[in-house]
């Protein structure tokens, strides 16, 4: 099928990206790996001191030299990711399905649901801490109609509720994945639905047997990206951390950032943490990608 002269056109198309990959990612990655084996305050290249795997040892739970704070940060991050990602995706999918109907005024609704995603994180965080204020916030005011005053959640100020609050925020910010789903839903040809309808398939079966396989590449994409981004949550944690009790919002990226950018500036240790984060994400993402190869429906199989 393929003519000879076409064999290596892939290179031509991917070249700019490959150049970027090597210069902007591979080289810095190698640098950060090397740095993770050193102690360095990030001020002069002469001040780098080789320490081998010491930093990684501090990140193994249960050892005498363990950085308990880091373990707590990993736990927080995992709990948050496991809660936030599925809920966020379900919300995004639900909205995308509603918004892809052939109805008037959908353009306005799409913009409305995308708005939260457009706002700067500073403003977002400010708005949320208002709404979820335990004593005066709108949310607890509404809740107080049905819930006893003592049972009202303390939201960001409570060790238990701080993560659910962030999860809710993440659900509210589902505009990104929603957009990807919307794009994917456009690819589903109406003729497939018509055929399914002729076969007498109900709405649920049409969703299950037509829509879902057709948008499965987008689901895989959103799941992988969602996991990666949730594991790397930083902005919101950075802005809200001081409100939380007992380090309830200490996420790994925040701990990493603080190690690197607060005195005594442990660039090496922060790099080691980045690689632990990398490993954790790999453990989550690789099985999903492997499974994806069997489950996801691609028109192009290669």
Q: Could you tell me the smallest distance in angstroms from the CB atom of residue 201 to another protein?
A: 17
Tokens (6 digits) for 260? 């690197």
Structure tokens at 189: 């040809």
Toward another protein, which CB reaches closer, 12 or 198?
A: 12
Question: At its nearest, how many Å lie between another protein and the CB of residue 20?
Answer: 3
> Could you please report the per-residue DSSP string of 97-144?
HHHTSS-TTHHHHHHHHHHHHHS-HHHHHHHHHHHT-TTT-HHHHHHT
Closest contact distance (angstroms) between CB of 43 and another protein is 5
Instruction: Choose between 196 and 241: whose C-beta lies nearer to another protein.
Output: 241
Q: Which lies closer to another protein via its Cβ, residue 84 or residue 125? A: 125
Nearer to another protein, 41 or 51 (CB): 41
Q: Is 101 left (phi over 0), alpha (psi -120 to 50) or beta?
A: beta
- The closest of 122, 159, 156, 160 to 137, measured between CA atoms, is 156
Shortest gap between Cβ of 42 and another protein (angstroms)? 6
Residue 3: both structure tokens together: 């003519």
Reduced to 3 states (helix: H, G, I; strand: E, B; else coil), residue 49 is strand
The residue (of 29 and 79) whose beta carbon lies closer to another protein is 29
* Least spacing, CB of residue 83 vs another protein, in Å: 20
SS3 state of residue 288: helix
For the bound state, the minimum distance from the C-beta of residue 194 to another protein, rounded and expressed in Å, comes to 13
CA-based nearest residue to 272, from 17, 18, 76, 55: 55
Residue closer to another protein, measured from CB, 76 or 100? 100
């Amino acid at each position: 099928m393929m003519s000879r002269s076409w064999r290596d056109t892939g290179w031509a198309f991917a070249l700019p990206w490959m150049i970027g990959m090597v210069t902007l990612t591979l080289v810095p990655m190698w640098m950060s790996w090397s740095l993770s084996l050193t102690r360095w305050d990030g001020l002069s290249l002469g001040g780098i001191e080789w320490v081998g795997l010491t930093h990684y040892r501090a990140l193994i739970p249960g050892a005498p030299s363990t950085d308990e704070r880091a373990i707590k940060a990993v736990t927080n991050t995992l709990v948050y990711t496991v809660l936030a990602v599925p809920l966020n995706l379900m919300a995004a999918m639900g909205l995308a399905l509603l918004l892809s109907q052939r109805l008037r005024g959908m353009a306005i609704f799409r913009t409305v649901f995308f708005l939260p995603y457009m706002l700067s994180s500073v403003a977002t965080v400010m708005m949320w801490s208002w709404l979820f204020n335990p004593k005066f916030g709108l949310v607890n005011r509404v809740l107080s109609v049905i819930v006893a005053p003592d049972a009202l959640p303390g939201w960001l100020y409570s060790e238990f509720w701080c993560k659910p609050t962030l999860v809710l925020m993440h659900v509210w910010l589902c505009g990104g994945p929603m957009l990807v789903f919307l794009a994917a839903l456009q690819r589903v040809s109406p003729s497939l639905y018509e055929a399914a309808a002729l076969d007498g398939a109900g709405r649920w079966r049409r969703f299950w047997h037509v829509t879902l396989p057709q948008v499965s590449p987008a689901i895989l994409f959103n799941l992988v990206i969602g996991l990666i981004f949730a594991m790397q949550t930083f902005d919101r944690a950075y802005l809200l951390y001081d409100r939380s009790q007992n380090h309830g919002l200490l996420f790994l990226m925040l701990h990493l950032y603080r190690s690197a950018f607060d005195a005594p500036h442990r660039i090496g240790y922060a790099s080691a943490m980045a690689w632990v984060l990398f490993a954790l994400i790999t453990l989550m993402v690789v099985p999903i990608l492997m499974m994806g190869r069997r489950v996801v429906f691609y028109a192009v199989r290669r």
